[in-house]
C-alpha cells in the first residue's frame, strides 16, 4: 500500500540541468589523463566532455520517466485524482517532451562525437564541443516549461492519499462535528492514519478493521462530503467522482441533537445530495449522539430516513453504543465482495506459483 508517485524524483529546471551537466563534464575532463600527441589528447578530452554532458542529462531525464508511473497503468481512483489535480493530457505531453529531449541529446552526442573524431585541429574540436553545448542547452530550454510543470505536479502528486485499493472500502459522509471521526475510531478500534489529501485543508482519516480473514477499510473525507454541492468548487466535485472508484458503501451520519451546529433540515438536505450523488452504492444511515438527543429529535430523523426505504441505526459513538450493529451491517453488505477479492488473490498467487 503506497502512493504510486512517491518515487517520482525532483525534476530539475533546464538551467539547473545544464549547469549540473557542464560542471560534471569539466570535472571529468580535469581528472582525465589522456595519452598521445596534442591532437589525440584534445580529441579524447573533448569527446569525454560531450559524452559526460549527454550522459548526465539523459540519466536525469530518464530517471523521471522510469520513476513516474504511466497514468494508464494506475487504478481508476488514482487516474481520476491525477486528472483533477494536474490534468492528464498536460502530464502526458510533459512526459513526452522529456522522451523527445532524451532522444535529441543522444542524436546530438553521436553527431558531434563523430565530427570531433574526424577533426585534426584542437581549436576546431573545442569549437565543436561548444556548439554541442549550445544545441543541448537549446533542447533543454525548449522543454523548460514542461520540466517546471512536472516538478509542480510532483509536489502535488507525492501527497496523494495512501489507501489500500485491494480492500472493500466504506466512505463516511455527513456534516462537520456530527461524529464521523469518532465513529471511524470506534469501528476500527485504532487511531486512524491521517493521510494528506490535496482537495481539503485537513486530510483524510483512514482506518481498518477485520472480520476473521477479511479486512475492511473506513475513510472519512473532511471538506468533501460535508457540505452541499452548490458550495463546492469544480475540483472538489471532480474529487468526489474519484471517490466513486474507491468506496463501496456510504455510511451517512446524522446528529439529531443538532449539537454539531447544523439544523436537522440542513443535514437532511445534504443527505439528499449525497444520496443522489452516490445512488449506485448501498447506504447505511447512522443517527449519532442518541445519548444526548431527545426522542422527538431522533424519531423525526428516523421517519425521514425510513421514508427513503432505509433503516437507521441508533449510535452513541463516544460510548460505543450501536457501533457493533454498524459493523455487522457493513460486513453483511461487503462480505461477498471480500470473499471474491480473497478468491481472486489466491488464484493470482497460484498462477504466479505455477509460472515460476
**Claim to verify: residue 254 and residue 310 sit in the same structural domain:** yes
Rounded average pLDDT over 331-342: 88
How far apart are alpha carbons 285 and 270 in whole angstroms?
Answer: 13
**Claim to verify: residue 126 and residue 270 sit in the same structural domain:** no
Domain end marker among 157, 190, 217: 157
Pull the grid cell for residue 272: 439528499
With a CB cutoff of 8 Å and minimum separation 6, the contacts of 331 are 211, 214, 216
Residue 89 lies in a domain: yes
**Claim to verify: residue 134 and residue 30 sit in the same structural domain:** yes
pLDDT (0 to 100) of residue 247: 80
Pull the grid cell for residue 74: 494506475
**Claim to verify: residue 106 and residue 231 sit in the same structural domain:** no
Extended strands (E) in 18-81: none
With a CB cutoff of 8 Å and minimum separation 6, the contacts of 102 are 58, 61, 62, 65
pLDDT exceeds cutoff 90 at 13? yes
With a CB cutoff of 8 Å and minimum separation 6, the contacts of 117 are 43, 47
Q: Which residues pair with 127 in a beta bridge?
A: none
Domain end marker among 157, 182, 197: 157
Residue corresponding to grid cell 525548449: 142
Q: What is the pLDDT of residues 258-305, one digit of tens each?
A: 998 889 999 999 899 889 888 889 999 999 999 999 999 999 999 999
Domain end marker among 116, 137, 157: 157
**Claim to verify: residue 27 and residue 77 sit in the same structural domain:** yes
**Claim to verify: residue 132 and residue 230 sit in the same structural domain:** no
Q: What is the pLDDT of residues 220-261, one digit of tens each?
A: 876 666 666 667 666 566 567 667 777 889 999 999 999 988
Other Cβ atoms within 10 Å of 138 Cβ, number: 12
The model carries a pTM of: 0.72
**Claim to verify: residue 339 and residue 190 sit in the same structural domain:** yes
Residue 92 lies in a domain: yes
pLDDT (0 to 100) of residue 350: 82
Question: What CATH number does residue 84 fall under?
Answer: 1.20.120.1190
Rounded average pLDDT over 316-329: 94
Residue 4 lies in a domain: no
- Our count of domains for the chain comes to 2
Residue corresponding to grid cell 423525526: 300
Q: Which domain does 269 fall in, by range?
A: 169-355
Amino acid at each position: 500500500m503506497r502512493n504510486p508517485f512517491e518515487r517520482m524524483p525532483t525534476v530539475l529546471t533546464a538551467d539547473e540541468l545544464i549547469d549540473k551537466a557542464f560542471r560534471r563534464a569539466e570535472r571529468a575532463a580535469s581528472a582525465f589523463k589522456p595519452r598521445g600527441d596534442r591532437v589525440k589528447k584534445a580529441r579524447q578530452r573533448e569527446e569525454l566532455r560531450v559524452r559526460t554532458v549527454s550522459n548526465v542529462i539523459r540519466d536525469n531525464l530518464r530517471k523521471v520517466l522510469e520513476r513516474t508511473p504511466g497514468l494508464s497503468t494506475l487504478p481508476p481512483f488514482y487516474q481520476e485524482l491525477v486528472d483533477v489535480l494536474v490534468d492528464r493530457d498536460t502530464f502526458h505531453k510533459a512526459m513526452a517532451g522529456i522522451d523527445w529531449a532524451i532522444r535529441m541529446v543522444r542524436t546530438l552526442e553521436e553527431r558531434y562525437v563523430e565530427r570531433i573524431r574526424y577533426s585534426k585541429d584542437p581549436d576546431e574540436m573545442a569549437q565543436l564541443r561548444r556548439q554541442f553545448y549550445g544545441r543541448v542547452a537549446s533542447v533543454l530550454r525548449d522543454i523548460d516549461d514542461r520540466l517546471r510543470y512536472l516538478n509542480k505536479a510532483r509536489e502535488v502528486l507525492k501527497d496523494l492519499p495512501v489507501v489500500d485499493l485491494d480492500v472493500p472500502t466504506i466512505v463516511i459522509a455527513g456534516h462537520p462535528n456530527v461524529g464521523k471521526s469518532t465513529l471511524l475510531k470506534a469501528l476500527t478500534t485504532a487511531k486512524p492514519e491521517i493521510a494528506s489529501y490535496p482537495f481539503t485543508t485537513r486530510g483524510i482519516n483512514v482506518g481498518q478493521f477485520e472480520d476473521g480473514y477479511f479486512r475492511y477499510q473506513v475513510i472519512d473525507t473532511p471538506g468533501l462530503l460535508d457540505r452541499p454541492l452548490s458550495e463546492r468548487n469544480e475540483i472538489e466535485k471532480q474529487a468526489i467522482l474519484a471517490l466513486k472508484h474507491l468506496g463501496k458503501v456510504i455510511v451517512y451520519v446524522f446528529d439529531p441533537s443538532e449539537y454539531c451546529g447544523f439544523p436537522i433540515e440542513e443535514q437532511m438536505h445534504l443527505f439528499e445530495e449525497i444520496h443522489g450523488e452516490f445512488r449506485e452504492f448501498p447506504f447505511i444511515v447512522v443517527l449519532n449522539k442518541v445519548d444526548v438527543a431527545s426522542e422527538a429529535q431522533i424519531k423525526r430523523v428516523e421517519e425521514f430516513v425510513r421514508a427513503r426505504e432505509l433503516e437507521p441505526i441508533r449510535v452513541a459513538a463516544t460510548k460505543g453504543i450501536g457501533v457493533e450493529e454498524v459493523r455487522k451491517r457493513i460486513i453483511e453488505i461487503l462480505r461477498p465482495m471480500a470473499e471474491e477479492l480473497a478468491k481472486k488473490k489466491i488464484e493470482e498467487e497460484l498462477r504466479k506459483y505455477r509460472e515460476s
